[in-house]
Amino acid sequence: MNTRLLVYVVLQALCLMYFLLSAGTFNSLGMVLPSMVEAFGMSWAQAGFGFTLLGTACGIISLAPALTIRKLGVGRTLLTGTVILFLGFGLLYASTGVMTYYLGTTLLGIGYCFCGTVPAVHVLSSTFQRRSTVLGLYFTIGNLGAVAGPLLWYGSQSAGLDWRFYWLMFACASVVVGGFCTLTAGRLRVAAPGDQPSSSADAPVEWTVRAALGTVQFWVVVGAYTACLAINTTTHGFAYQHLMEHGIAQDRASQLISLSALVCAIGSALAGIAGEKTSPRALTMFSLGCLGLSAATLALANGPVTLVLWMLAFGAGLGFSYVSTVMLLQQYFGQRASLELYSIMMAVSTSAALGPALGGAIKDETGSFAGIFFALAAVSAVLFCAVALLRRPLPARAHAPLDEAFQ
């Protein structure tokens, strides 16, 4: 297989893996949770903590695939993640109580980290010149998994299959897709970041990790990504149950969540195209604004217009956030240290996993998830203002005073 063809096969393999991850982890767990809560007699705080473990493991372990990619290569990194994913799905299938549920979600978070966006963003950013477009394609195809997940769950329920069979399907699929990724990506030679040209013509200087960590701009970008991730995980964790508690039928709730995922996929495609011409900062502000609006409208969920607005705002904001934050990070700090900086951003964003844990606790205390969604809307508004005032860092002034980082 020639190199050019191999590059596109690897792109397809990585997209397929992200499709599986989107369908089988964050997007599916919120759908299956009501059945698991009933089966194990869990409280919603316990159920939400499993979601928190999924997000926490995904974030904390983010530096590990960066290390294994440098030391062992992309192929072995993906193989490691495939094994962990299989164990995670297998544990959920065989789960007998809260502790095995916790262990299963933790393993899924680790597997997600090794097979998901960390290796994919590194490979695609290092291989394709039009990075915004290819990342938009990657997140678009992957986000279609978020459309498929809720529909697959509803279809399996309609066919009389239980939640254990659902997890078994994903355990088998992880082996097939993970094997495909390992065999193809392992054959691709990815150039070292130091050999790559700078991320754009107006940013010739490549940052080091240490210098980037000393800037306010890096931490604002991380904060923006964390806010988007918090709204994402909390919404996927509780939207299904929240909508049913507001009188929405199961099939309608599943359809709304799937439609929001479809909007998300379309949003990622548009963000990839727009990223070639539009400032990543403007795209990041758009995603934060939409996600904040989605959290507020979901908290209300008081009519068809509100629900449609939530669906559109959540899907568009989430779709743009995937591409915009990656491109903003690379525009500000270049490509040389992008693998480590992206991994650090993923690790720090682990704090977003507090959303489902707090949401579950608020639900147990107040009887509603509305409080956590209003809180997330407020956080999003604060980060929107911070990004709006942000300006590009200059390497010679990496340690400039705080007020010089903003316009």
What is the distance between the alpha carbons of residues 352 and 114, in angstroms, rounded to a whole number? Answer: 19
Asked whether 299 and 373 are in contact (CB, 8 A), the reply is yes
186 phi/psi in degrees, rounded to 5: -65, -20
Query: In a structure prediction context, what are the per-residue pLDDT tens digits for the chain, which is 407 residues long?
Result: 677 788 889 999 999 999 999 899 877 887 888 889 899 988 888 888 888 788 788 878 888 988 898 888 889 999 999 999 999 999 999 998 899 999 999 999 999 999 988 899 888 888 887 778 888 889 888 888 877 887 888 888 888 888 999 999 999 999 999 999 999 988 877 655 444 444 444 444 578 888 999 999 999 999 999 999 899 888 887 888 899 998 888 888 878 887 888 898 888 888 888 888 889 999 999 999 999 999 999 999 888 999 999 999 998 998 899 889 888 998 898 877 888 898 899 888 878 878 888 888 898 889 899 999 999 999 999 999 999 999 888 775 444 444 555 55
pLDDT for the residue numbered 202: 47
Q: What residues have CB less than 8 Å from 303, skipping those under 6 apart?
A: none
Query: Structure tokens of 194?
Result: 């130091």
pLDDT for the residue numbered 207: 86
Q: What residues have CB less than 8 Å from 341, skipping those under 6 apart?
A: 209, 212, 218, 329, 333
The label of the residue with tokens 């210098």 reads: 211
Asked whether 357 and 374 are in contact (CB, 8 A), the reply is no
What is the distance between the alpha carbons of residues 352 and 294, in angstroms, rounded to a whole number? Answer: 17
In which element (H, E) is residue 277 found?
none
pLDDT for the residue numbered 204: 41
CA-based end-to-end distance of the chain: 51
What is the distance between the alpha carbons of residues 371 and 233, in angstroms, rounded to a whole number? Answer: 15
What is the distance between the alpha carbons of residues 323 and 398, in angstroms, rounded to a whole number? Answer: 25
What is the distance between the alpha carbons of residues 315 and 321, in angstroms, rounded to a whole number? Answer: 10
DSSP H helices, 248-405, are 250-274, 280-300, 304-333, 338-348, 354-366, 370-389
Looking at residue 352, what DSSP letter applies? G
> Residues in the chain, how many?
407
- Domains of the chain are 3-405 (1.20.1250.20)
Q: What residues have CB less than 8 Å from 8, skipping those under 6 apart?
A: none
Give the pTM. Answer: 0.75
pLDDT for the residue numbered 250: 81
Which one, of 315, 293, 300, lies nearest residue 248 by Cα?
A: 300
Asked whether 86 and 178 are in contact (CB, 8 A), the reply is yes
Asked whether 293 and 313 are in contact (CB, 8 A), the reply is yes
Query: Structure tokens of 26?
Result: 């964050």
Asked whether 165 and 156 are in contact (CB, 8 A), the reply is yes
pLDDT for the residue numbered 400: 46
- Cα three-residue angle 94-98-100, rounded to 5 degrees: 40
In which element (H, E) is residue 396 found?
none
What is the distance between the alpha carbons of residues 314 and 28, in angstroms, rounded to a whole number? Answer: 17
What is the distance between the alpha carbons of residues 290 and 311, in angstroms, rounded to a whole number? Answer: 10
Q: Is 120 left (phi over 0), alpha (psi -120 to 50) or beta?
A: alpha
Asked whether 33 and 234 are in contact (CB, 8 A), the reply is no
The label of the residue with tokens 């262990």 reads: 103
